[in-house]
Structure 1
């Protein structure tokens, strides 16, 4: 709406000028129009030196009264020569509303641009923004996916081979704002998939948390590392490992012992950090696969297996042949001073112990969701520093060793705690990708199996009775604590509960056979107004009575499959929810887009419905 800056406008005139706008956003029978986005680009620095790097920023102006979906629904692609120079875009996180991340006002997408040596002159191309929008007013219609294009030009100059001094850069004109050409589209990759959770895939959730809360994530990684050093497989061997360091620093003071211990810990930390960087790079490459149950459900099963390993059902061990080779190399490294301590630390990290191996694998899966090699390196490096803290302290201050508690049953509690945490991750991923009945069945079976193993598998896990009780409580608490984090069950999951057809042809046949109108309800899980219809309108007794005199068909187009797009094109559906009333022969009688309350819907549909004949006539 227009903002009136003149303070002297009368109150009555302000209300009068508002009424037409309110009417314009009220219920509409015509086709809704998606918002017109304004796109502009900027490049910093400009011009770009060859070789060199720069940041290309795509600014999106979203009209008032609309919002865009953030997450996987917002994507940038490039065409033309500039495409080969662009890296992975950094998207805005948005604000989470009802479990869905949305963007309003102005949003910026930053894309790294890398120019190799030998490039010169302007490099041109086109940025394609794939987006999906909903109204914030009136019927809160959600529009089908669309895309906008903006032309870009990157001025590139050759860097001087041997500059005598800093030369002033020649400013380049700011690229003009180009109005985007909006064209409806339905790209499969830009549409929310039904398999992905409403609040985003696990990659989106964990990746966003790990990217935006780096200090907290680093603290958590460090604490997990410290706790890992207290597990039964690590804690008892700390004195043995430190004995080597002590023998090499005998008579040389604490500083020498500290440096030897630090070299050992750095070798361990750098190895894990490289694993983290590789895992994050793999997550960046294959992250889109994680939005489907074909990857999400196996991840849940992987976490469940890792939890069972923490409970000692089985062990993740390095093959014996490789372990022997590594131990031989470690023996050769003894006596090598700082380099020898560094190599022993790195080689010790290769032989992942049965206690921390599952935890490291679980952390690597989460780290992969960040898509950032730098953060992957940083998080695993910090975890390893926490793991090596006791090594560092005992190697520097030998007297601390006598003050440490002896190995015992208390270490089982640490292992059980990690097992429960990993089991919580398994419950979480299962809840994201499984329907609620399947989730409860799988969670019950999994929890029952763990409980049975803890209670009756003492010959395998050797846990004390207190550790078993703590494990049972923690595992049950893990399931309860995960439930509030799960997205709500899709509103359309009970589409056929009240006589709705899920297939168009079946509904049309029913309409012809009974000589009744056919009602088509186009909906999707991500459509707010669709969910509102299903909660407030369709269940009303008067509406249900009217539906019994029709052949209602619920067409869930969340998946946006080729069949979904074909049927939407067939009935010229541009926004959701769209409700269409057909006569028994399939001819359209009327339609509306957006939300209608029970009374309004009955008034709209009643004229087209023949009263049911009295019984016995």
Structure 2
């Protein structure tokens, strides 16, 4: 919300959402603009975990998920019907190929419009969702909902919409509006197969809390879902090359169910003990690989299907092996001290600089720092040899001692990393308020260490 109002320096409030609400501070977007004091809001509008290559690979995965939804039992049989619909509309006039393209664009527009609106609406609840996720019970409930939807895709129960809604969505209209209407109502007609996956994705987007990301995620999903139909409509003569419907579509549906299980693991992971944070995703990946690759008995009429199952199963096993091996080989992390005045006095006596990390379990950049930067071998070695490392956990608000530290060091949000020189004075130019990769963090450590070395080599005045 603060970002949308134009603020530049935005932090995650270390006191948490309940304290923010108690103080009567705004919890939704407002056209009033900045406050009279000119201070930036301390509530961030978005989870920043989707950036750079992570964003690209996530969107590619969502596009692939949209394409895979075409292979579910509710959508795949509709492909010849949809393509024939486009062809029939285009054949009524000339030039038919141009009309075919226009009908396809209308269909994609309708599909994208429906899903993108859902994504934006879900993400607009992200302020509330992100705050609720600070309570460990809420991620567990969200994970439970995702598992429930996954069991539907596994065939344990069926998601059915009211008959009147399905009947209304099944109506046929002529012209370009007919193609637009088909796109708008695809989600209703195919709800038993794609509904659980879309609802699970909506839950994830709500946790992100960014309307732009919500729109982009569901727009890309719509392209993945609608583009194959559009292309097949342009080359309708190739329809006979499509594999016949069969058990392989149930296998694809189970694949999407395992995607939801993976999303459930993503939500619940931050509240688990450290060892379970590693074991859970590895266990999910192993189970998915064994189920999809070898335990599932569905067959298909085309010869490539057994190879496809083996490739997916083997890929999951390789990924799980890579994760567990990387975790086993990463070595020890930084050894942290709890904050105390005695620790700081000891650091001054030993002429060692101090690094203080203010973090919370619900803070994504905090977890990135902990799992990546603070386990990097060079960072760990420097910390052990030349620094005193102190961690302050502000996950649970209300501790008077923690609140006093937040005021003492002027902490506006988490993560915040404070660098103290050998005299116990802060180097404000080095303070960090976001994730920093290991190489850049080493530069900060070197700058702090250099100031200590320079001071030690200064000539002393004599009488």
Q: CA deviation at 1:592?
A: 7.9
CA contact (8 A) 2:28 2:127 kept: no
Q: 1:308 to 1:491 in 2, by over 3 A?
A: farther
Q: 1:261 to 1:424 in 2, by over 3 A?
A: same
Q: CA deviation at 1:217?
A: 6.0
Aligned twin of 1:286: 129
Give distance in 2, aligned partners of 1:381 and 1:475.
27
TM-score normalised by L of structure 1: 0.46
1:365 aligns with 2:203: yes
Aligned twin of 1:317: 159
Q: 1:235 to 1:469 in 2, by over 3 A?
A: same
Secondary structure at 1:363 match in 2 = helix
CA contact (8 A) 2:285 2:319 kept: no
Q: CA deviation at 1:437?
A: 3.2
Q: C-alpha deviations, 1:533-566, integer Å up to 9, x for none?
A: xx789999xxxxxxxxxxxxxx974136566424
1:390 aligns with 2:390: no
Aligned twin of 1:244: 85
Aligned twin of 2:343: none
Q: Find the partner of 2:238 among 390, 396, 400.
A: 400
Give distance in 2, aligned partners of 1:489 and 1:302.
35
Q: C-alpha deviations, 1:215-274, integer Å up to 9, x for none?
A: 776555444323332344422321023333434444433333333343333222211111
Give distance in 2, aligned partners of 1:303 and 1:525.
32
Aligned twin of 1:269: 112
Give distance in 1, aligned partners of 2:181 and 2:118.
16
Aligned twin of 1:226: 67
Secondary structure at 1:314 match in 2 = coil
Q: CA deviation at 1:277?
A: 1.3
**Residues 289-300 of structure 1 aligned to structure 2 (within 5 Å):** 289-300=132-143
Q: Find the partner of 1:344 among 182, 185, 206.
A: 182
Give distance in 1, aligned partners of 2:398 and 2:102.
66
Q: C-alpha deviations, 1:123-147, integer Å up to 9, x for none?
A: 971244588xxxxxxxxxxxxxxxx
Give distance in 2, aligned partners of 1:562 and 1:327.
48
Give distance in 2, aligned partners of 1:393 and 1:230.
15
1:254 aligns with 2:165: no
Aligned twin of 1:136: none
CA contact (8 A) 1:435 1:489 kept: no
Higher strand share: 1
Give distance in 2, aligned partners of 1:449 and 1:218.
24
Q: Find the partner of 1:235 among 55, 72, 76.
A: 76
Q: C-alpha deviations, 1:450-477, integer Å up to 9, x for none?
A: 5775589657x67876565445434444
Q: 1:260 to 1:435 in 2, by over 3 A?
A: same
Q: 1:269 to 1:361 in 2, by over 3 A?
A: same
Give distance in 2, aligned partners of 1:404 and 1:437.
46
Q: CA deviation at 1:326?
A: 3.5
Say how many residue pairs are matched: 373
CA contact (8 A) 1:255 1:396 kept: no
Secondary structure at 2:125 match in 1 = helix
Secondary structure at 2:48 match in 1 = helix
Secondary structure at 1:382 match in 2 = helix
Q: 1:489 to 1:313 in 2, by over 3 A?
A: farther
**Residues 325-340 of structure 1 aligned to structure 2 (within 5 Å):** 325-331=164-170, 333-340=171-178
Give distance in 1, aligned partners of 2:66 and 2:383.
53
Give distance in 1, aligned partners of 2:143 and 2:198.
16
Q: Find the partner of 1:204 among 22, 27, 48.
A: 48
Give distance in 2, aligned partners of 1:284 and 1:412.
37
CA contact (8 A) 1:317 1:352 kept: no
Q: Find the partner of 1:125 among 29, 32, 36.
A: 36
Aligned twin of 2:456: none
CA contact (8 A) 2:74 2:190 kept: no
Give distance in 1, aligned partners of 2:91 and 2:132.
54
TM-score normalised by L of structure 2: 0.58
CA contact (8 A) 1:264 1:341 kept: yes
CA contact (8 A) 1:264 1:343 kept: yes
Unmatched runs of 5 consecutive residues or more in structure 2: 341-354, 360-365, 411-416, 427-444, 446-463
Q: 1:380 to 1:298 in 2, by over 3 A?
A: same
Q: 1:260 to 1:422 in 2, by over 3 A?
A: same
Secondary structure at 1:318 match in 2 = coil
**Residues 427-446 of structure 1 aligned to structure 2 (within 5 Å):** 427-439=265-277, 442=280, 446=284
Secondary structure at 1:125 match in 2 = coil
Comparing 259-268 with 297-306, greater Cα deviation is found at: 297-306
Give distance in 1, aligned partners of 2:381 and 2:78.
63
Q: 1:593 to 1:479 in 2, by over 3 A?
A: farther
Q: CA deviation at 1:280?
A: 1.3
Q: Which has the larger radius of gyration?
A: 1
- Tell which has more relative contact order, 1 or 2 (C-alpha 8 A, sep 6+): 2
Q: C-alpha deviations, 1:374-397, integer Å up to 9, x for none?
A: 442343133213311232233344
CA contact (8 A) 1:316 1:358 kept: no
Secondary structure at 1:356 match in 2 = helix
Give distance in 1, aligned partners of 2:241 and 2:131.
50
